[in-house]
Structures are given as structure tokens and as C-alpha cells.
Amino acid sequence: MKKMMFVILCLGTVIAFAQQDTAKPPTFGWTHSLIASLTATQVSYTNWSQGGENSLAYGLSLDGKSTNTQELIKWVNDYKFAYGQTRLGDQGLRKTDDRIELSSLVNYQTGGVVNPYFAATLKTQFTRGYKYDAGGTSTAVSDFFDPAYLTQTVGAMYQASPEVKTRLGVGLREVLAPKFALLYTDNPATTGLEKSKVDGGLESVTEVNWKIEENILFTSKLELFDAFKHMDQVIVRNDNMLTMKISKYLVTILELQFINDRQVNPRTQVRQTLALGFTYMLL
């Protein structure tokens, strides 16, 4: 009951701050956008008396959206690919970012601010991930499509302003972990090793796309999933990004991500990134 109140509170907050829709009439047909970004940092020391270690870090990302707008149907496909590594001293390259995120949403436009929808998402990674202890020993904890998170939901979407939209639905959340089932999918109460698990539940997704200034964009996505079998364990994922455009191709990007999934980690996972790099609009 407390978790349902939390979801309702999120939706109520969005509605309270929503503004009247002043968007231009939509253009029917397909529209596409694709943006590539590259960030890099390098520090090198030679005979440096004050101490320090050589370091190298880079990050690559590709963000795209393909939208098909018709009179009654709007089909939105989002895709994000990101990969980054860093090297500190003689530790070798270590992964700092690795994401494959795909989503597809079909929205039936009734003419009001509340419309039915169907959505599907996939989240996974490109390469093997490691956890390092204090002595530098590495332990593999993930790999390509291991784990992979898939969701399919149907419900209602509310959008009273171009900047904010939220949806609430019921659906399935699937987790696949062929090699690392003990970390992500196994049920310790059974004798077998489960390499996948499926939960039915409620999903809430709230997205913010706010152009603060002509050169400053803030985006945020809050995803909540409450499985029917574990109503006291809401899975929370919050991705926030502040992009400040310095020139046509030079940008500063601040990212902050929170993940709270007690079935994987009893503590809230936090990832923060501040980067300066180049961006180029391919489409």
C-alpha cells in the first residue's frame, strides 16, 4: 500500500507542475535523430616531484530516436549505446560505462491528455564487467546479455505539457542471466539454478525533457516496477542528464544515475559522471 502511494505521489507531482500544451501540430510520417558524443581525458607525468599517476579515460555514446506520427497512432523508438574505459597508473583499462538501452512505445492518441499505450524495453551491455577488491583482484560479475532486462507493459499515458509525460501500466519484467544466474535470477529457496525469472507487476515511468536555456537541456527518467509477488520491494531506476552546449560541437555533460533493486544489491547504487567532449548530430 505504501508503494502504491509512492507511485501516486510521483504522478501527482508531475500533474501539479505540468503546463498547458503549446506544441505545434505534429508532422505526419517518420522523423529521425541521431547524436554521437566523444569525451576524453589524459594526464601524463614525467619527473613530477609533487606526485601523481598517469591516467587516460574516454567515453563514446550514440543516442537516437525514430518517431512515426499518424493521426491516431504515435510510435516512438529510442535507442542509446554507451561505452567508456579508464586507465589509472599501471592498473590497465577498466570499464566505466557500458549500456545498450532500447525502447519502443506505441501510443493511441484519443485527442485528450490521457491515452492508452503499449511499451517494450531492453537493457543490457556490450562486454564483460568486473568487480575489483582493495588488492586489485578482479571478479567477473556480468557479460553481454547477462544480465538482460526486458519489460512489456500496457496502460495509460498522461501528458499535459511537452516537457513532462508519465505513464502507469501493468506488465511483465523478465531478467536473463545465462552465466551469472547466482547474482541476478536464481531463487535460493529452490534446488535448481534459475537462469531467468519473470515477474508480473505494476510499472510507472515518468520522463522530463526540459530546455532550461537555448544551450542547456535537462532530461530525467524515473522508472518504478512493483512485482505482485514482492509488493514491498519496488525496483527504482532514475537516470538524469544535464547537457550544456558550449559551442556547436563542444558540450559539458553531467550524468547522475540511481538504481535500487534489493534483489540484486541491498544498497542503492549510484553512478555520477562529469565529462567535457564533442558531440555531432548525424541525423
Task: Look at 266 and 223; give whichever has higher pLDDT.
Answer: 223
Residues 189-231: tens digit of each pLDDT = 898 999 999 999 999 999 999 999 999 999 999 999 999 998 8
To the question of pTM greater than 0.75 for the whole model, the response is yes
Instruction: Say if residue 122's pLDDT is above 50.
Output: yes
CATH topology of domain 2-20+29-281: Outer membrane phospholipase (ompla); Chain C (2.40.230)
| pLDDT above 70 (res 23) | no
14 Cβ contact list (under 8 Å, min separation 6): 158, 164, 166, 206
Geometric angle at alpha carbon 100, from 97 and 104, rounded to 5°: 145
pLDDT (0 to 100) of residue 26? 57
**pLDDT of res. 20:** 43
Mean pLDDT computed over 240-266: 93
Q: What is the mean pLDDT of the chain?
A: 89
State yes or no: pLDDT of 8 exceeds 70: no
pLDDT confidence of residue 11: 44
pLDDT tier for residue 25 given thresholds of 50, 70 and 90: low
Q: In whole angstroms, what separates CA 67 from the centre of its chain?
A: 19
pLDDT per residue as tens digits for the range 37-72: 999 888 888 878 888 888 999 999 999 999 999 999
- Percent residues over pLDDT 90 in the chain: 70
